[in-house]
Structures are given as C-alpha cells and as structure tokens.
Chains A and B, each alone.
Chain A
C-alpha cells in the first residue's frame, strides 16, 4: 500500500526559532501534497496545498511567510514554521495520494506535534 512518512513525530522548540517538518511519500510519487493543522479535540484544517515544482497554494487566513512550504521533489514536501511562537503549537499532518488513486484514498503521515516554549 501507499505509505506517507512524516518526520519528526514531535518537536519542541524555543520561541523565535524555526522548525522544519518533512513529509515523504515512500513508495509512490506525489505531485500534490496537503498540509493540515489540528488543534486539540478539533478537526483537521487545511493549511495549504503543496505543488511539486511550483508555489504552494495557501488557504485563506494562513500566513504564507510564516508557514513556508517547499515541494522540491515528487516524494518530499517540507513545512517550515518560521519564527515560531507558542500559538503555533499544534499537531501538523500531511497527506498525499498516488496519481492513480487520487480520488479513492488520501494517505496520511503520522503527524508532528509541535510545542513552542
């Protein structure tokens, strides 16, 4: 089956620093990946669509300069939280689908719990 791997699983960083989260499709190529944010006991909110070889598409209200997305290859997308603050603490999840299964299933990474202190 299709596997999406996300790294790290958890990270603690100091306020003002930047942190990078990686999302890899291990056994398929993905021209598009999605980044979600999930607050405790809430749903997944789409932050942005990561497009290989082009700029990411951000959802309304998401600061693109704060949440930098780079989709440099067909198997890797990265989300960098720049100048992190405590309010950025959250659970971040990525997803992707093989091209021939885009409509049938999205595969999710394990998620990254970010804590900013």
Chain B
C-alpha cells in the first residue's frame, strides 16, 4: 500500500516571500501521479498542481512549482510571492495509474499561514 507523509503540520511565511512544503511518499509502483491540493477555510478541495511520475520535468503553475525527486520519493511544493489568499491546508496526494485503482491517498496536511 502507498503512504504519503507530510512532516510539517504548520508553516508560516511572510507575505510576498517564498515557502516550501515537504512531502514524501512510499510506493513500489514505477508510474503514478502526485498532486497538491489546497483546502481553504471553505473546505472546498482545490487542485494546485500535479506531476506525472514518468515526466522528469518539474511541474509549474504560475507561482506554484514542485521539486519532484523520484529516486528519493520526494515531492515538495514551492509557493513564490506568497499571498494572503494562499492561507489554507495543503495536502499532498498519491494516485496509482493501475486501472481500477483510482483513489487518492492523502498526506496529513500542512497548515499554511501567511503573515501580512
């Protein structure tokens, strides 16, 4: 079974600064997907960024980028130019590419606070 670990329960960053959230995972599969989801106070889950394991290039979405280290099974999220609206819980998630196994396995989450 796959596991996802987020070792930082809480993080804070000054507005406009950069912060990195950590995520490690364990799997025996060679192909899979990794995601970062954001859950603001509304509790609506919002996709931030995704990475396909077979792609070596790190995914980027505007101010959000990942550092994907497949050998180390590490998948960190970097938020640049932090904004007040980035304050939320961030969950790292793993998904197998095996047919019929479409569920997401989530980490325990990191609560990000933005300091004005």
Contact = CB atoms under 8 A, between A and B. Distances in A.
Interface of A: 32, 34, 38, 41-46, 49, 91, 93, 95, 97, 102-106, 108, 110-111
B44 A106 contact: no
11 contacts: A34-B104, A38-B43, A43-B91, A43-B108, A46-B104, A46-B105, A102-B102, A103-B52, A103-B97, A106-B47, A110-B42
B33 to A, nearest CB: 6
Interface in B51-106: 52, 91, 95, 97, 102-106
Contacts of A32: 102
A97 B102 contact: yes
A44 B104 CA distance: 9
A43 B107 CA distance: 7
A44 B102 contact: no
B23 to A, nearest CB: 12
Contacts of B91: 43-44
B15 to A, nearest CB: 24
B16 interface: no
Interface size classification for chain B: 20 to 34
Nearest to A111: B43
Given A43-B91, A43-B108, A103-B95, A91 B43 contact: yes
A91 B43 CA distance: 9
Contact of A104 (B45, B50, B103, B105): B50
A30 to B, nearest CB: 10
Contacts of A42: 108-109
Contacts of A91: 43
Contact of B103 (A49, A93, A110): A49
B19 to A, nearest CB: 20
Contacts of B103: 34, 46, 49
A103 B95 CA distance: 8
A110 B44 contact: yes
Nearest to A59: B103
Contacts of B105: 46
Contacts of A108: 44-45
